[in-house]
């Protein structure tokens, strides 16, 4: 017998809120219920000042749902909403009830953040993080306020790519201030765990980390938040694609057939959770000899463009395989920031324009007001 949201809410009728004695189920605070086989994940909306008082409720909710037949694992998070929890959460909860047979429910947005996009790849090592970092800087050169969330739990690379050291500070309650580099706000799981810590985090832990980085970071006002996803198309990535309120996904691939096969899986994954695909980028597309300017299509370039056509998704552009891209990435100075007039930087800026166009009006920079 499979579990339903109604089963979860029934179990939560037995959990009472300390102040009012009202049941948690009736309080309208339960949101983002996700059921994946025997795994159940959901959030309890709180006011930031209630964190300590609501911790026993969170634990009670975990054990109430954990006692349901068929439940193997429960993860419950407290999430602080800027709006008053009851009314807002109630509305969200209504919005989260899936229509029978309809598309999967959409998670709630992040206050102040207009659009969230994922940069994803079907497999590791195709240059997803390098693309995400340079795309983020390129979007900011177009006049947008941009943040970067590095959710690549298995290999966080944003601290290195942006040359950021140190730890984020707590700004209030459980809320962390993001780090900053090149005018971007940056948060990475790499700031929160030691580089030596083995990355044995799996499944729901990945989700709880991303939820925290998404909702308990003082992002402020952003036009675009670029999320560097973990590579691959497994359970963790699928759940993440479902948990983050994504406006769209950019898929990065190299031109080789094998990488393209994985990219196809990436496209299928986002389609499954009804996230629009903004398009496919071909990274390490071609090589231009720095000595003589001769162009070599090392991996039979053009594969991604054909694949995009085949899949019916936009082709967003080609990024060359270039030593300066690797060197600046390794040195913590993304090429779009350190050498913005180079041909390599221009390739990322062209990509950013495509992404901005695909996202539509919501990411347009605010007009500059000139007083004469």
**With respect to ligand ATP, which residue has the nearer C-beta, 107 or 320?**
320
* Count of chain residues binding ligand ATP (CB under 6 A): 21
Question: With CB under 6 A as the contact rule, which of the stretches 4-12, 37-45, 290-298, 320-328 interacts with ligand ATP?
Answer: 320-328
Alpha-carbon span 79 to 46, nearest angstrom: 6
Q: Is 4 a known ligand-binding residue?
A: no
325 forms part of the interface with ligand ATP (CB under 6 A)? yes
Site string for ligand ATP, 100-139 (x = CB under 6 A): ---------------------x--xxxxxxx---------
210 forms part of the interface with ligand ATP (CB under 6 A)? no
Give CA separation, 31 vs 49, 93, 100, in Å.
19, 5, 18
Cβ-closest residue to ligand ATP?
A: 127
Alpha helices in 231-341 (DSSP H): 235-243, 257-272, 303-311, 323-330, 335-338
207 forms part of the interface with ligand ATP (CB under 6 A)? no
93 forms part of the interface with ligand ATP (CB under 6 A)? no
- The residue from 107, 231, 248, 303 that contacts ligand ATP (CB under 6 A) is 231
Question: Do 270 and 303 contact (CB within 8 A), yes or no?
Answer: no
Give which of 181, 205, 180 is closest to 193, Cα–Cα. Answer: 205
**With respect to ligand ATP, which residue has the nearer C-beta, 27 or 134?**
134
Task: Determine the 3-state secondary structure of 177 from DSSP.
Answer: coil
Residue 334 CB, shortest distance to ligand ATP, in Å, is 10
Alpha-carbon span 133 to 330, nearest angstrom: 12
C-alpha torsion 161→355→127→247, nearest 10: 90
- The residue from 10, 174, 326, 364 that contacts ligand ATP (CB under 6 A) is 326
Rounded to 5°, angle at Cα 135 from 133 and 140: 100
Task: Name 258's Cβ contacts closer than 8 Å, sequence gap at least 6.
Answer: 123
Alpha-carbon span 244 to 99, nearest angstrom: 20
Q: Is 234 a known ligand-binding residue?
A: no
152 forms part of the interface with ligand ATP (CB under 6 A)? yes
Write out the residues near ligand ATP by the rule CB under 6 A: 121, 124-130, 152, 155, 157, 231, 283-284, 319, 321-322, 325-326, 329-330
Instruction: Specify binding-site residues.
Output: 122-129
């Amino acid at each position: 017998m499979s579990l339903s949201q109604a089963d979860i809410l029934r179990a939560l009728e037995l959990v009472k809120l300390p102040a009012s004695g009202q049941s948690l189920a009736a309080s309208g605070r339960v949101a983002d219920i996700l059921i994946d086989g025997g795994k159940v994940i959901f959030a309890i909306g709180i006011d930031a000042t209630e964190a300590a008082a609501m911790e026993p409720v969170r634990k009670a909710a975990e054990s109430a749902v954990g006692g349901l037949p068929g439940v193997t694992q429960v993860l419950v998070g407290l999430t602080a909403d800027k709006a008053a929890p009851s009314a807002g959460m109630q509305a969200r909860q209504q919005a989260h009830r899936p229509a029978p047979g309809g598309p999967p429910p959409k998670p709630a947005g992040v206050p102040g953040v207009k659009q969230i996009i994922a940069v994803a790849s079907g497999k590791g090592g195709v240059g997803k993080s390098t693309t995400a970092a340079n795309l983020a800087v390129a979007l900011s050169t177009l006049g947008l306020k941009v943040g970067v969330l590095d959710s690549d739990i298995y290999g966080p690379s944003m601290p290195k790519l942006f040359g950021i050291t140190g730890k984020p500070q707590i700004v209030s309650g459980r809320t962390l201030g993001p780090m900053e580099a090149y005018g971007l706000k940056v948060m990475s799981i790499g700031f929160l765990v030691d580089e030596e810590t083995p990355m044995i985090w799996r499944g729901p832990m990945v989700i709880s980390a991303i939820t925290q980085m998404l909702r308990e970071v003082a992002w402020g006002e952003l036009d675009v938040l670029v999320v560097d996803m973990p590579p691959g198309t497994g359970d963790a990535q699928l759940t993440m694609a479902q948990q983050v309120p994504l406006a769209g996904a950019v898929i990065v691939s190299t031109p080789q057939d094998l990488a393209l096969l994985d990219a196809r899986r990436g496209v299928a994954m986002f389609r499954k959770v009804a996230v629009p695909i903004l398009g496919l980028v071909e990274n390490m597309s071609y090589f231009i000899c720095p000595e003589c300017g001769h162009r070599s299509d090392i991996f039979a370039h053009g594969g991604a463009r054909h694949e995009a056509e085949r899949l019916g998704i936009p082709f967003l552009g080609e990024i060359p395989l270039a030593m300066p891209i690797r060197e600046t990435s390794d040195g913590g100075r993304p090429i779009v920031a350190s050498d913005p007039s180079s041909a390599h930087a221009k390739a990322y800026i062209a990509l950013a324009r495509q992404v901005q166009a695909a996202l539509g009006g919501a990411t347009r920079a605010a007009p500059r007001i000139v007083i004469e």
